[in-house]
């Protein structure tokens, strides 16, 4: 039986104001966004561990940007999965 826990939402923001744009795409932006995505995921895993969850299901990412910030949101549902 699966015991569903609260939805976990971690938000990570990075200041991208100082990045340099090369060929229409900023290498710094890509690096920082990847780092932010990984950090948000790791934070969510840590939070799930606090609930003694052994899995996270329905993981979804959302990224939005403004002129100064990019916001990375990762959603998921922490669950405890047990053998029947």
Note the pLDDT tens digit of each residue in 42-73.
Answer: 888 988 898 888 888 888 888 777 777 777 88
Per-residue pLDDT averaged across 4-21, rounded? Answer: 44
User: Angle 26-43-60 (CA atoms, 0-180°, nearest 5)?
Assistant: 65
- Of the two residues 14 and 69, the one the predictor is more confident about is 69
Domains and CATH numbers, the chain: 3-80 (3.30.110.70)
Is 56 within 8 Å of 8 (Cβ atoms)?
yes
* 8 A C-beta contact, residue 59 and residue 74: yes
> Per residue in 24-39, pLDDT tens?
556 667 777 788 888 8
Cα-Cα-Cα-Cα dihedral sign, residues 23, 62, 57, 10 = positive
pLDDT level of residue 2 (50, 70, 90 thresholds): very low
Does residue 77 or residue 16 have the better pLDDT? 77
| Residue 76 vs residues 11, 41, 68: alpha-carbon distances, Å | 12, 9, 27
């Amino acid at each position: 039986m699966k015991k569903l826990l609260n939805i976990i939402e971690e938000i990570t923001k990075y200041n991208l104001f100082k990045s340099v744009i090369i060929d229409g795409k900023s290498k710094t932006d890509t690096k920082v966004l990847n780092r932010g995505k990984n950090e948000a995921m790791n934070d969510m895993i840590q939070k799930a561990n606090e609930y003694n969850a052994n899995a996270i299901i329905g993981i979804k990412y959302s990224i939005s940007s403004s002129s100064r910030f990019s916001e990375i949101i990762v959603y998921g549902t922490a669950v405890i999965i047990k053998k029947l």
